[in-house]
Amino acid sequence: MAAAAALTLLFAAAIAAAGAAPPAALELTGPASAAAWVLSNANGSIALPVDAASLPGYALELLRAAGVIVDPLVGFGELESRWVALDTWRFEASWGAAETARLAGRAAAVLRTWTLPVGGLLRADGPNSLAITIRPAPGEAAARKRAYPYQVPTLVTPGAWDVFNFLRKPAHDFGWDWGPAFAPAGLSGRVEVVAFDRALITGAHFDVSLDPAAEEWVVAVTAALLVPPGGDAGTLSAELAGAGLGTAEAEVVLRQLDPSQPGEVAAAVTLRVPTARVERWWPAGLGAQPLYNLTVAFAPRGEACGGGGGGAAAGAAASVGAAAGNDGGAAAAAGAGAAGVNGGGACSAVARRVGFRTAEIVTDPLPAAAADLLGSPGRGASDWVGGASLSGASGGGGGGGGGGGGGGGGRGAGAGAAAGDDAGTVFYLRVNGVPVYAKGANLIPANVLPTNVTGAALRRLLDAALAANMNTVRVWGGGVYPRDELYDYADQVGLMIWQETAFACAPYPRDPAFLENVAAEVAQQAARLGWHASVVVWGGNNEVEASLEWYEATRAARDLYAVDYATLFVETVGGVLRQMLPSTPFVDSSPSSGYFTPWLPVKRWGNPQDPRHGDVHFYDYTRDCQDPGHYPRARFISEYGWQSYPAWATYSAATAPEDWSVGSRMHEFRQRHPNGTPELIAQLDRRFHLPSAWRGLLARSASAAGGAASDLNVASTAAATGPSGRELLAAPRLRASALRDDGAEDGARADAGASASGRMSDADRMSDADRMSDAPSEYESWIYLTQAQQLLCYETAIGLWRRLRSEPSVLTMGVLYWQLNDVWAGASWSSVDYAGRWKPLHYGAARLFAPLAVVAGEDGSGALEVYVVNDLLEPVSIDLTVEIIPLAAAGPPSAGIQPGHAAGGGERGPAAGGCPANGRPAGAARVAAAAAVPAASAARVFSRAVAELLAAAPGCERETCFVRATARRADGSGSSGGGAAAEAAEAVVWLAPFKSMPLEDPQLSASGFEPVAGDAAAARFTVAAGAAAAQLAFWEAPRLAGRFSENAVSLAPCERREVVFHAEPSEEEEEEEEEEEEEEGRGEGARRTGPRRLRGAELAAALKEALRLSSLWDHQRFGERGA
């Protein structure tokens, strides 16, 4: 049999075999399968035997593993392997000898499970084969786009195909502005054959709601079952583990639409649980995350099953199942049934972990919400408890007044309300009746190939979010629906998930076949994911509503596309989600102004970026990102960002030395944001010294569209910034020798660094470090400066939105920045790069998202204002210190950049001379004060004219000193709740551009490497600055996987800080743990061994060897200063 599809296929076949007593499953993919697979292309030039253990998988990875293609993520591998996306691929499995097959069915989406009846096509005692043919996605989508009766435009970025909206395949597969375009073909999920002659439960989902009058949780369970021809009947039960927690049963009659064929049917049972017998699930930082075991079982009539099987409980209502989808777990469920779950025989069951919580999106009118959130008009302010002036005399300090003094009004897409407009509505999450400030980032796919993503990799990403004090991640609609492990782990640790259905950045078709396919997809994914306690919001799409203003076609016929939009997202997607998950909030798009009322899905059409309603996405690449005045004073910011490049070790592992120059072909090849390089340079030029070559690139053409082959457009840009621009991206197949600036071959680096299969190995990290010189190259400085500028941009924006939570006219209650992670080593908005290395931004996010955070900056009148943000549900008394610190210990340094040491690593001994005995630089001044910060509020605790502050520090001018504000809880504890949070919350304010400051060598040093008592996977050391300040200091250990307790900070002259390095498990350790999880219960004792995580003294020694320290001074020593 052959199944033809236009894209990747997840195939589940079900047969009704006469006399098949217990349900049985034949796994055709995975390590337990005995099937023989062959991967071949259209003309038969490739016929590659494939081990079933490497499936599910994609042709791209299988060809790479076999050496047919180079690693597509290294060098120009994407272009060299582009032909793979344009070929037809056939996956053929056989068990026994192969025979001629017959068509079993067709599949038209990768984003759902397909179940086909094949009982009449298989032989129980003879040879069988299964062939899955996948036509090239770009061509198939282009044909559909061409055949559609009117234009439906598509967003396109350099190197991408402009057809993604015509196939139910992840949009980013066709290329995006942060990653490559592979449009990969393959099997994205397991392939299995299931035999059964009684109904078989394959999945279950539930909606949890609170009945306050009855003081009960209502768990509405819906089970998915495969039903044999003629239907079936029996008992459906739901049981919550634990004495007296609850059991419910219902007698069900199961009838499919076509009784002559096996089919999928849904049946329901409702469980009621007393609220007093279970604990509530809370988001991270607000409480615990108790989870309870729920078993949903089906006992066919006449079968004796233990536990919940048997007859119906008294008063149980009979129900008739309706046709429904399932989550593709047929083999697991069948195997469980055959093994004797709830009595064995034909009985089957699935287990879930349920958390009890309520979740709402509040959209009340702003004045009413202000009273609810702030409690009183003055809650957003703080009075001085006591303090001292700069001169040491006791006195006040300009405390009172609400927040928002320095924000200014938004412009552009986030423009503020015009005079006379209404105040608007709020937009925030309320969990268990408690308002929650959402702090987090957007999650893109963890890999270009979903089958290369491991549960360990997803847990590592969520751990990085938790360590940065996040409580929310938004699963972006242009990617995939992630693996179950992401949601299981989020349930365990309390990370809230905003889950979008897979649509992004363009209008979509609305023909009946498309809508039917979408409805089935959304139903399956809602059933698979919607029951998780962590999923607190469902979104219909990313930026589709906003995109109606992007294209000429949509602007010219807005009514037509508005009807398309409402039909797809309000009625189809929203209809399915509202029916299946009525207790989970749904927003049809992000950004959007939402509905007029939650109970009536009528859209508030207009500007979806209106900051007075709903959520906002904000990007502005032309203005000063450190000017808070141009940011929208919005209710909720679900996207915001600025680009940077990945860590030098990550980038160099995927490229060659001849690539390491700004504007080179490789540089532009890995920059998919149109006009990205000029925008980065223009922003850097505001504050940093830059080489003249970089500044010269600004004079070149920004970008222009071009390159088309017939009706399938692969976007390119003409002579953007590099010597050849990005026109190479439009070529279907090229050799590396045609791509290099100097014609060098790429093969020498094809095996280096992080491949499509995952992050870098420890050996790769060692070679990365060996390639680094003691003195940073110009390209290393490019990477450092883009990362430093990214941090400064986000500090400004997020700091503003954090303190506006208590501004009564704004009430910002969420910031989810773009983006958390990467799919390759290229320019992006990420805070964690593809190799898992934290950029400075991620350490900054940990400070900004800490439960106790400090935000400081100048307002429009020249005053320095300091705010303390308190996310805790109790008021906090803090001790505040504001310091004016000179850049040099012996007083203001002389002008000019002085020669000195280069960036290096390891232990260098004590700091250079020039530090006073008390460790405090001459000329420093400080003010100390105490203040009270109300619960769940942002309070302005300090306001003083900058001129007054500088006058209090002799010799200080804007160019020679900086300001640091530090807050500690009055009981001596620092900020809490984050693994990367410093002991004290702090913020630094620079009073002039760095290029106008006289920089000196800070003589950064590291010493005192030793293990951390009680934590074998951690080592501590001390970083010290010499007689000059270390501005924007950063330390890294490229050879080691892990993170630092504190990083990306500025040290005062002579300052010392203790830092802890937390080592992560090696890739091999994580894979072993995952194998153990998969093999649990199978009796397999053998375990693959590999390099282990360094521990104790060994870790401390390795850290000493690998550590590299640098600061701004190291990356401003170009051959010429620039104008």
Q: What is the DSSP string of 1031-1065?
A: EEEEEE-TTS-EEESS-SEEEPTT-EEEEEEEEPP
Tokens of 916: 């006073």
Tally of domains in the chain: 5
Do residues 949 and 1043 both lie within one domain? no
Of 613, 645, 663, the residue that ends a domain is: 613
Calculate ∠ Cα 674-679-680, nearest 5°: 115
CATH of the domain at 589: 3.20.20.80
H helices of 131-274, in order, are 137-147
pLDDT at 342: 37
Average pLDDT of the chain is 81
| Beta strand extents in 467-585 (DSSP E only) | 472-475, 496-500, 535-539
DSSP string covering 669-694, please?
HT--STTHHHHHHHHHTTTS---HHH
Contacts of 44 (CB under 8 A, 6+ apart): none
Q: What is the Cα–Cα distance from 810 to 813, expressed in whole angstroms?
A: 9
Does residue 537 lie in a domain region? yes
Q: What is the Cα–Cα distance from 301 to 992, expressed in whole angstroms?
A: 79
Which letter, b or e, does each residue of 101-122 get, where b requires 16 or more Cβ atoms within 10 Å of its Cβ? beebbebbbbbbbbbbbbbebb
Question: Smallest Cα–Cα separation from 583: which of 217, 245, 297?
Answer: 217
Average pLDDT, integer, range 816-842? 98
Most confident range (mean pLDDT) of 327-341, 394-408, 902-916 is 902-916
Do residues 877 and 943 both lie within one domain? yes
Question: How much of the chain, in percent, has pLDDT values that exceed 90?
Answer: 65
CB atoms within 10 A of CB 57: 25
End-to-end CA distance of the chain: 70
Residue whose entry in the numeric block shows the structure tokens 């809650």:
379
Q: What is the Cα–Cα distance from 522 to 584, expressed in whole angstroms?
A: 14
Residue whose entry in the numeric block shows the structure tokens 């989020």:
490
pLDDT at 418: 35
For residue range 260-274, list pLDDT tens digits in order: 888 899 999 999 999
Q: What is the Cα–Cα distance from 636 to 628, expressed in whole angstroms?
A: 16
For residue range 1106-1120, list pLDDT tens digits in order: 999 999 999 998 864
Tokens of 170: 């992840």
Does residue 20 lie in a domain region? no
pLDDT at 642: 97
CA 677 to chain centroid: 24
Helix (H) or strand (E) holding 1096: helix 1096-1106
Most confident range (mean pLDDT) of 443-447, 768-772, 920-924 is 443-447
| Beta strand extents in 364-507 (DSSP E only) | 384-387, 428-431, 434-436, 438-443, 472-475, 496-500
pLDDT at 372: 82
Main-chain phi, psi angles of 321, to 5 degrees: -70, 150
CATH of the domain at 54: 2.60.120.260
Contacts of 482 (CB under 8 A, 6+ apart): 443, 445, 446, 453, 458, 475
Do residues 458 and 600 both lie within one domain? yes
With cut-offs at 50, 70 and 90, classify the pLDDT of residue 27: confident
Q: Is the pLDDT of residue 498 over 50?
A: yes
pLDDT at 32: 86
Tokens of 322: 């309706």
Tokens of 439: 């702090």
Average pLDDT, integer, range 277-289? 97
Helix axes 1067-1079, 455-467, angle to 10 degrees: 120
Tokens of 5: 């599809």
With cut-offs at 50, 70 and 90, classify the pLDDT of residue 96: low
pLDDT at 973: 52
CB atoms within 10 A of CB 317: 11
pLDDT at 924: 73
Do residues 461 and 607 both lie within one domain? yes
Most confident range (mean pLDDT) of 560-574, 736-750, 912-926 is 560-574
For residue range 32-52, list pLDDT tens digits in order: 888 899 999 999 999 999 999
**Rg of the Cα atoms in the chain:** 30
Q: Is the pLDDT of residue 326 over 90?
A: no
Q: What is the Cα–Cα distance from 969 to 878, expressed in whole angstroms?
A: 4
For residue range 869-881, list pLDDT tens digits in order: 999 999 999 999 9
User: Mind spelling out the 3-state secondary structure of 759-803?
Assistant: CCCHHHHHHHHHHCCCCCCHHHHHHHHHHHHHHHHHHHHHHHHHH
Average pLDDT, integer, range 370-385? 56
Q: Is the pLDDT of residue 956 over 70?
A: yes
Secondary structure of residue 749 in the 3-state scheme: helix
pLDDT at 260: 84
Does residue 328 lie in a domain region? no
Tokens of 83: 């032909």
β-strand partners of 234: 252, 300
Identity of the amino acid at 215: E
pLDDT at 902: 33
Of 153, 187, 221, the residue that ends a domain is: 187
Do residues 577 and 512 both lie within one domain? yes
Do residues 501 and 587 both lie within one domain? yes
User: Mind spelling out the 3-state secondary structure of 143-173?
Assistant: HHHHHCCCCCCCCCCCCCECCHHHCECCHHH
DSSP string covering 994-1043, please?
GGGS-------EEEEEEEETTEEEEEEEEEE--SB-EEEEEEE-TTS-EE
With cut-offs at 50, 70 and 90, classify the pLDDT of residue 468: very high
Which letter, b or e, does each residue of 593-625 get, where b requires 16 or more Cβ atoms within 10 Å of its Cβ? bbbeeeeebebbeebbbbbbbbbbbbebbeeeb
For residue range 781-812, list pLDDT tens digits in order: 999 999 999 999 999 999 999 999 999 999 99
Average pLDDT, integer, range 459-468? 98
Q: Is the pLDDT of residue 4 over 50?
A: no
Reported as half-sphere exposure (CB side, CA atoms, 13 A), residue 593 has a value of 17
Does residue 240 lie in a domain region? yes
Greater pLDDT, 403 or 41: 41
Q: Is the pLDDT of residue 355 over 80?
A: yes
Does residue 1021 lie in a domain region? yes
β-strand partners of 795: none
Secondary structure of residue 597 in the 3-state scheme: strand
With cut-offs at 50, 70 and 90, classify the pLDDT of residue 1122: very low
CATH of the domain at 1104: 2.60.40.10
Q: Is the pLDDT of residue 587 over 70?
A: yes
Secondary structure of residue 521 in the 3-state scheme: helix
Do residues 472 and 598 both lie within one domain? yes
Question: Smallest Cα–Cα separation from 999: which of 661, 693, 687, 775?
Answer: 687
Does residue 899 lie in a domain region? no
Do residues 561 and 536 both lie within one domain? yes
Do residues 219 and 252 both lie within one domain? yes
Does residue 239 lie in a domain region? yes
Contacts of 794 (CB under 8 A, 6+ apart): 640, 641, 642, 817, 841, 844, 845, 848
Of 586, 613, 640, the residue that ends a domain is: 613
User: Mind spelling out the 3-state secondary structure of 649-662?
Assistant: HHHHHCCCHHHCCC
Greater pLDDT, 5 or 733: 733
Identity of the amino acid at 526: A
Q: What is the Cα–Cα distance from 993 to 985, expressed in whole angstroms?
A: 24
Q: Is the pLDDT of residue 2 over 90?
A: no
H helices of 8-96, in order, are 59-65, 77-80
Q: Is the pLDDT of residue 849 over 80?
A: yes
Least confident of 364-378, 593-607, 921-935: 364-378
Q: What is the Cα–Cα distance from 700 to 719, expressed in whole angstroms?
A: 8
Q: What is the Cα–Cα distance from 420 to 133, expressed in whole angstroms?
A: 61
pLDDT at 926: 87
CB contact at 8 A, 617 and 592: no
Secondary structure of residue 847 in the 3-state scheme: helix
Greater pLDDT, 906 or 984: 984
pLDDT at 1075: 62
Q: What is the Cα–Cα distance from 334 to 202, expressed in whole angstroms?
A: 8
Average pLDDT, integer, range 686-712? 68
Residue whose entry in the numeric block shows the structure tokens 């990083």:
1047
Do residues 59 and 198 both lie within one domain? no
CA 141 to chain centroid: 27
Do residues 1048 and 1061 both lie within one domain? yes
Do residues 104 and 64 both lie within one domain? yes
Q: Is the pLDDT of residue 882 over 50?
A: yes
Question: How much of the chain, in percent, has pLDDT values that exceed 70?
Answer: 75
pLDDT at 412: 35
Q: Is the pLDDT of residue 125 over 90?
A: no
CB contact at 8 A, 124 and 146: no
Burial of 983 (0-12, 13-18, 19+ CB in 10 A): middle
For residue range 671-684, list pLDDT tens digits in order: 999 999 999 999 99
With cut-offs at 50, 70 and 90, classify the pLDDT of residue 715: low
Does residue 324 lie in a domain region? no
* Range of the structural domain that residue 286 is part of: 194-303+346-357
For residue range 192-237, list pLDDT tens digits in order: 888 888 999 999 999 999 999 999 999 999 999 999 999 999 999 9
